[in-house]
Structure 1
Amino acid sequence: MRKGSGILDYRVEVTFEPRYELLSSLHTMICRKSHKKIDLSPAWVKDTLKQITPDLSSLLSEMEVDSDWKTTYLLAYLCPDGASPEEFLAWLEKKTPGDLYELIAEYSQQFPKDMGQFRSRTLTVLSSWHEQYFRKLEPKVIGGLRSEAQARTAELANQTELSAFIEETTNGLTFMPKEGLEKLVLVPHYHFQPMNIIYHFGRITQCHYSARFYLDDETDFPPHEYRMLRALAEQSRLKILRYLSGGPRTFTEIVRHLQISKGITHDHVSKLRSGGFIRAHIDGETISEYSLRPEMLDVMHRKLVDYIVN
């Protein structure tokens, strides 16, 4: 964003294809540190592992959310528009290691150590995951994500304040200008809610954001709204909000202000972020500072009154 102008230095696009959720679902499985934080049933990981073969389970146990996995997200983006998961895998299978080097080099100078092995392993894992889990996914998930992307795209077409649009869509993210950045790609996801997946590749930044879409929210208080209530149910979090009312602060400054451990502070900040009360300023893939979203206090009040009274 140009300072003081409110104009973004990069283009914004909202998109969704099932192949992105194929990756998001697998990301949810291999990002083990997040298993207790996801909105899916606590039993999802165990139940899913029971559905797949021991061979695939063994492969997944060896995978990490690392630079190779990041490259997989780039390839999903570079695949021709409209490609289904099967077409994405067929496209990848036709690419030689040399082809992949050329594709990746336009966006990143970080390559897998052995491109041939990376290609082979990626094809094996994604094909097996698709066959054993993803293709059996409840169709409403894909339909809901398509609807979310279509609604946001329509909203974007009439939007004059792009920074506000990005923040509302992602529940509190703002992306700082960065040399060479030309496009921010916003992709709704389901499995990894309420968290985001952010990858920066030179000219583009991908933000796979929580769609705030659930299969059983017709009768329940939606999880993202319930999170708003829970986020405020701790004195230290209220102190953080009051501290941020004075302006943006770094994580280190918040830790010093609270005078508690980094781990506990990080947990408080994460809950305030998932509740939508604080804004995370993203520089590439890194959060540089946090700031208050005061309007969300009014939003929470209205939603609570609507739920109880109406």
Structure 2
Amino acid sequence: MAYDVKVDVSPIYELLSSFMIYTTRKWINNLDVGREWIQDIQQSLSEDARQAFAEAADYPFSDYDLLYALALERDAAADISRFLQNLAHGNASDLLAQVNLYIPSATLEDMKRMQTDYAPLLHIWQQNYFSSIEEPYSVMLEEDALEKQGLLEKMDHEPLIELASGGLVLEQELPVQHIILVPSIHFRPVNTYCFYENALLIQYPIDIPEVDEDEPPICLLRLTQALSKPERLHLLRYLANEPKSMQELIRDTNESRAQLQHELMILRSAGLLRVHLPDRTTEKFSIRPDGVSELQMFLESYIRI
């Protein structure tokens, strides 16, 4: 299916992503920020704030789809302050009209809940955490978005999406018309995606500059750690010929779904897997040849062969 692709960048996405990671602890064991990041932030928050965030961990995870939809429909000139102001005090019916472009099933009650439950917490998050990193992170995000926009004018859409996301492959039959690529720092090294009505939002990870050039780069460490267990090498060998679904993996490896999801996430985070999306509900996995090539490249670069 033909679709258009655009690159979108705003610190609003990064605000929402960092807030989501902290609040839900989603993928935290596979993210570079890690649990130490959680602990550091815990210490900077008041007891009341910590309690409020703890309660928000039980909110529906699908709520974040609504928040990202509002970010997609933000005013072109909106900064974080204006976005949060609109979320907290804007007309709920107007907010619903924006979200319904992406999620037709969203209701007015959903929008009122966004205003009462999420707007105050996002304001605390901005004040206590994100404001201190907003400027340098915005620069890195904008630089990467400009680079990807330039590539978009030179490359076909499919290889660009796979390159940016580190392995996400959109099959021809995928029923979407619009692809939105958004660079993300807090989600590194994981790519995440969200299906909307006729659209797919992909947040792809970008690395921050290495502080010490004498230390092994994080991309090399991800690769070597991912390959440190025989079980993962077995998986890569199994996935070398053609894409396999989770059901096929469970059937052929005799591993549990939970264990396979854990191992696949580690391989995926290292850039060693392609994730194929044939439809809105199915993922298939195959080896990513570029990831194997990158291992040699990063290793030779570090040891200076």
Task: After superposition, give the CA deviation of every residue in 1:180-200 in whole Å (9 maximum; x if it has no partner).
Answer: 622111111111222233211
Of all paired residues, the percent bearing the same amino acid is 27
Structure 2's unaligned 5+ residue stretches are none
Task: After superposition, give the CA deviation of every residue in 1:148-170 in whole Å (9 maximum; x if it has no partner).
Answer: 111111111111x2211110110
The CA deviation at 1:25 is 0.9
The CA deviation at 1:255 is 2.2
- Do the aligned partners of residues 73 and 125 (structure 1) sit closer, same or farther apart at CA in structure 2, a change above 3 Å counting? same
The CA deviation at 1:36 is 2.4
The CA deviation at 1:53 is 2.3
- Do the aligned partners of residues 284 and 142 (structure 1) sit closer, same or farther apart at CA in structure 2, a change above 3 Å counting? farther
Residue type at the aligned position of 1:27: M
Q: What is the root-mean-square deviation in Å for CA atoms of aligned residues?
A: 2.2
Residue type at the aligned position of 1:30: T
- Do the aligned partners of residues 10 and 224 (structure 1) sit closer, same or farther apart at CA in structure 2, a change above 3 Å counting? same
2:124 maps to what in 1?
128
Contact 2:174 2:280 in 1 (8 A): no
- Structure 1 runs of 4+ off > 6 angstroms? none
3-state DSSP class of the match of 2:283?
strand
For residues 278 and 287 of structure 2, what CA distance do their matches in structure 1 show? Answer: 18
2:228 maps to what in 1?
233
2:193 maps to what in 1?
198
Task: After superposition, give the CA deviation of every residue in 1:245-265 in whole Å (9 maximum; x if it has no partner).
Answer: 221111121222222222222
Residue type at the aligned position of 1:142: S
For residues 56 and 171 of structure 2, what CA distance do their matches in structure 1 show? Answer: 31
1:208 maps to what in 2?
203
Contact 1:17 1:82 in 2 (8 A): no
Contact 1:199 1:285 in 2 (8 A): no
Which shifted more, 198-207 or 106-115?
Answer: 106-115
For residues 297 and 191 of structure 1, what CA distance do their matches in structure 2 show? Answer: 24
The CA deviation at 1:290 is 0.9
1:142 maps to what in 2?
138
- Do the aligned partners of residues 80 and 14 (structure 1) sit closer, same or farther apart at CA in structure 2, a change above 3 Å counting? same
Please give the TM-score of this superposition, normalised by the length of structure 2.
Answer: 0.90
For residues 178 and 75 of structure 1, what CA distance do their matches in structure 2 show? Answer: 27
For residues 18 and 308 of structure 1, what CA distance do their matches in structure 2 show? Answer: 36
1:21 aligns with 2:14: yes
- Do the aligned partners of residues 100 and 139 (structure 1) sit closer, same or farther apart at CA in structure 2, a change above 3 Å counting? closer
For residues 157 and 114 of structure 1, what CA distance do their matches in structure 2 show? Answer: 38
Please give the TM-score of this superposition, normalised by the length of structure 1.
Answer: 0.89
The CA deviation at 1:27 is 1.2
Instruction: State how 1:109-188 maps to structure 2 within 5 Å.
Output: 109-111=104-106, 113-137=109-133, 139-159=135-155, 161-177=156-172, 181-188=176-183
3-state DSSP class of the match of 1:185?
strand
2:293 maps to what in 1?
298
1:10 maps to what in 2?
3
Which of 18, 23, 31 is 2:24 aligned to? 31
The CA deviation at 1:218 is 4.3
